[in-house]
Amino acid sequence: MSEATAVYRLLTIQSHVASGYVGNRAGTFPSQLLGWDVDAVNTVQFSNHTGYGRWGGLRFDAAHLADVFANMKKNGLLRHNRILTGYTPSPEALAAVEDLIRAERQKNSSLIYLLDPVMGDMDRGMYVSPDVLPIYRRMLHLSSIICPNQFEAQVLAGMDITSLDTMKAVLTKLHAEYGVPHVVITSLELPADDLAKIGAAVTLPDGAQPMLLVGSTWDAEKKSPRPWFLQFPSHGEYFSGVGDLFAALTLARFSETPDDLPEAARASYASYGTPAENECTLPIARAITLAVASLQHVLLRTHKTMVELGKEEGVDPFQPTHTASVEDRVKVMRMRELRIIQSAGDILHPTVHYRPQWMHHSA
Amino acid sequence: MSEATAVYRLLTIQSHVASGYVGNRAGTFPSQLLGWDVDAVNTVQFSNHTGYGRWGGLRFDAAHLADVFANMKKNGLLRHNRILTGYTPSPEALAAVEDLIRAERQKNSSLIYLLDPVMGDMDRGMYVSPDVLPIYRRMLHLSSIICPNQFEAQVLAGMDITSLDTMKAVLTKLHAEYGVPHVVITSLELPADDLAKIGAAVTLPDGAQPMLLVGSTWDAEKKSPRPWFLQFPSHGEYFSGVGDLFAALTLARFSETPDDLPEAARASYASYGTPAENECTLPIARAITLAVASLQHVLLRTHKTMVELGKEEGVDPFQPTHTASVEDRVKVMRMRELRIIQSAGDILHPTVHYRPQWMHHSA
């Protein structure tokens, strides 16, 4: 195989919105920019994301998805090194996706499958049908990487995370019982004394409260999780599609060896720089560090644009949308769309400010 | 308006295939790369393009498209500087697109609308319902640029092109009767003596037969077309999606003033270089010259990949597909998918080998 015929194919199965950046619309362009031949199966076609409060379009049913998958298979087009799945509208549609992933996993043991088990969050609880849970639990066994938030990790494991000990119990369960190689809990709340134990900060140098991301790779010999963490400023609370962009960047960047990455991703890996002391240098941690770094650029650019648009249009773009009028809510949602296109350079070559650390031994 | 809030929004309404590069899948990434915030309404979701001979998926009906458009409108998301339309599966769906374009044109007289009237070609004749023709004719009045091939130009004008005179009659009809400002006939066959009259070559320096593209902008004062032409090697005969990529690149590059282009497109405009003698320097000709230059890179890279894949897989990628077995046809079609992702650098910064010339006065 030559450079001309090298195969860097990624399949993503998520939502499509005509306008704005969530689901496949958040992940496809960055993955393409990083050199991936992205195949995209859309699970819905909506005018815009549902955070606007009103939208038009269709959720696609399981029969349509299965038909698309079946014909891709017939035509030899299921030949991906990577698969990404995110929000899927119904248990039936998710089951069709499960069938696909199961067949691909059986065919290709080196497939890297990132499962983003989109179900809910700590603020809103479950926002999809609870019938997806048993399906996601089965799909965990097929995954290479999962990136739940705290709520989703808890629901999948069936235990709450209130401390370091319960965090480790959840990680162990996802690794050992569900066979997930790499778990990434994208945001986690821990008591202040537990933060101190693992060597994490309670506040960032500028006084802001950091987000805590916890990663863990299963150590099969020691039969224990090897947890690490990454702290970075939170800019994401106003935005939709952040998790989708994060998942896509993580999958596009992750590789055990640089040769498994397309040239664009390989060439821009230098952005990572030199590891610090106590830094976790696992490939998954490095991928996530670059993903978070790119995301910070996108969020800061979006934030800046919101401030300027707010002035121009005389609307507070940071106002709570659940109490806003329908018209104000829509206006604010438009301002909050991620500035992904404008961030192409930063997606390829991010500046890394925040680095992953192993959790202290004492933890 | 600041750089952070500058508006470069492009709406594209075309096909979506899960795998491969036609329709929106051919045009979206290049337009995004050139800095456009691309909104995409998909008119179908298929597993792959229909040239494979088999596919799965759905054509979306007029009601779905109208629902998406209506909710985009309600949510203030119809605010584009550019619109691109291509293949639309049925007269009903096309009529829904027409309604949208008509409303947008009435709202925004500076809207740049590129209409690619996909209906057929000289080899195959009409491959869509003839009921789309009257709709396309109405839509011509709303367009800024159209890029039919010879067959489509003839069908729209209701006259054949067999000579310079009939070519001028067709151009005049499209400009004067249908009100199209810029006509681009993407491939045209003219008798050898007519080629000589306009200053065009019969063969390229390497002996290959060139493609002839003819552009024309209406001179409202003189009430006559101002035709120019561009010749370049044909590499496109094996590929699907070439016309879609060309249309997207043209729209992403076209601008009466550089300020109307996003930074990425503006910054890479230097690729155009210095005009030659007798060069047509109309903005539309410059845009098309850059589009053709990028396309040449994509086609040469795809051609090279086909040769290598053919060797690796022991299949002739250039074989005629209509006589091939179903399995061979599918295999060959996979090899012919455009190498768009791999050509990102060449899409941004193409090398210009072929330049547009005014047609000789004697013509």
CA distances from B41 to A46, B66, B68, B301, B333 (A): 9, 11, 8, 29, 25
pLDDT grade for B363, boundaries at 50, 70 and 90: very low
Higher pLDDT, A3 or B253: B253
* pLDDT on residue B61: 95
- For B29, phi then psi, to 5°, come to -60, -50
Q: Which residues of A are catalytic?
A: 244
Rg (chain A; Cα; Å): 20
Q: B86 with B23: CB under 8 angstroms?
A: yes
Q: Residue B184: which H helix or E strand, with range?
A: strand B182-185
CA distances from B245 to A143, B298, B299 (A): 35, 10, 11
Is position B160 annotated as part of the catalytic site? no
Query: Can you give the pTM of this predicted structure?
Result: 0.96
CA distances from A199 to A19, A338, A352 (A): 42, 32, 20
- Separation in Å, CA of A41 to nearest CA in chain B: 5
Kindly compute the dihedral angle of the four CA atoms of residues B17, B19, B20, B23, in this order, to the nearest 10 degrees. Answer: 10
Q: What is the mean pLDDT of chain B?
A: 94
* pLDDT on residue B6: 78
Place of tokens 């561009």: B230
Q: How many residues does chain A have?
A: 363
CB contact under 8 A, A75 and B334: yes
CB of A341 within 8 Å of a chain B CB? The answer is yes
CB of A318 within 8 Å of a chain B CB? The answer is no
Q: What is the pLDDT along chain A (363 residues), one digit of tens a residue?
A: 566 777 899 999 999 999 999 999 999 999 999 999 999 999 999 999 999 999 999 999 999 999 999 999 999 999 999 999 999 879 999 999 999 999 999 999 999 999 999 999 998 899 999 999 999 999 999 999 999 999 999 999 999 999 999 999 999 999 999 999 999 999 999 999 999 999 998 888 777 789 999 999 998 899 899 999 999 998 767 899 999 999 999 999 999 988 899 999 998 888 888 888 899 999 999 999 999 999 999 999 999 999 999 999 999 999 998 888 999 999 999 999 999 999 999 999 999 999 999 997 544
Q: Which residues of A touch B38 (CB under 8 A)?
A: 341
What's the ipTM? 0.96
Cα gap A195→A202, rounded to integer Å: 7
* pLDDT on residue B132: 97
Asked if residue B276 has pLDDT above 90, the reply is: no
Higher pLDDT, B4 or A156: A156
Place of tokens 């952005």: A271
